[in-house]
Amino acid sequence: MNKNIFFKKIKKISVNEICKKLKIKNITKKKIYLNDIKTLDAASRNDLTFLHSSKYLKLIPKIKSNFIITSSKFQKYLPKKNIFLVDDVLLGVASITELFYPDSLNENFNYRASSDQNLFRSKKVTIGSNVLIGKNVKIGNNSFIGHNSIIEDNVIIGKNCSIGSNVILKKTIVGNNVNILDGAVIGKKGFGFFPKKGKNLRYPHIGMVIIKDNAEIGSNNTIDRGSLGNTIIGENTFLDNQVHIAHNVKIGKNCIIAGQVGFAGSSEIGDNVLIGGQAGISGHLKIGNNVQIGGGSGVIKNIPDNTKVMGYPAKDIKLFLKENKKWQIN
């Protein structure tokens, strides 16, 4: 989904305005307007994008945008485009995101939301007691909303879904045949901060959470929405209780994630992945297809397809078992 249904964007912003916001000299005398701010892989020609880490150098050949925020450290890697040169790239991106999306840091809910079941009666939707439903919410046929849940503005829930009690859905699109168990909190802002002169400044999160068909989200899961991109849970993926998924994480289809697993931001998990309980996945990693990760493991580097790992730091399971042979039960 390309259109952002949760945040209102200013139509276009001039390069001159962006330079003023970044507190740098104007990079062109031409009157040029940019459409949006997006990640390197998503930005089109007249969007603004950014490069802040060597982990994303591999995306440079795919860049379509002509306007890039970066630092002197990465300028040499970029083609001759319109470069906004700053000292702190992510701080600059945060300020420009607020320029395009003025309400991007607003977490307030419409507390006058209706709980009138008549709004969805024609679709045979069952709604429990003390449920709050925001404006422009869409709920598919034969879905169920449990007691004390909050469905915030513009959320979309597909057909044949079961939303448990005490669930909060915000900035979220739910597919068909999805089960979300009690106590889950989905679509809140991610844990993004900038320490600056003794203060922690918030990073805007204008993305959403997308939960695809036939997925199951366990009790008390917390899934943060994306910053510029989206957080995605793939089709037929099941999450056990108390799993935490940070902003921009993308989990493929047919995955099984056991309880208390934690994913740091912007990691990508392939299809058919199995992860044991209490494992931790560091940020900005790529976990391949058909990977198995043992319980309690700490993953700090990419894992290729069809690999089994365990331990802290996670290593090939055969090596782990060999090194820990004395602890094995015969």
Give the catalytic positions in this structure.
247
Q: Where are the beta strands (DSSP E) in 39-184?
A: 48-50, 67-70, 82-85, 126-127, 132-133, 138-139, 144-145, 150-151, 156-157, 162-163, 168-169, 172-174, 179-180
Judged on CB neighbours under 10 Å (0-12, 13-18, 19+), 270 is: buried
My answer on whether omega of the bond before 313 falls inside 30° of 0, hence cis, is yes
What's the longest Cα–Cα distance across the chain? 75
CA distances from 88 to 77, 92, 93 (A): 17, 6, 9
Q: Which long-range contacts does 72-78 make (Cβ < 8 Å, 24+ apart)?
A: 77/51, 78/51
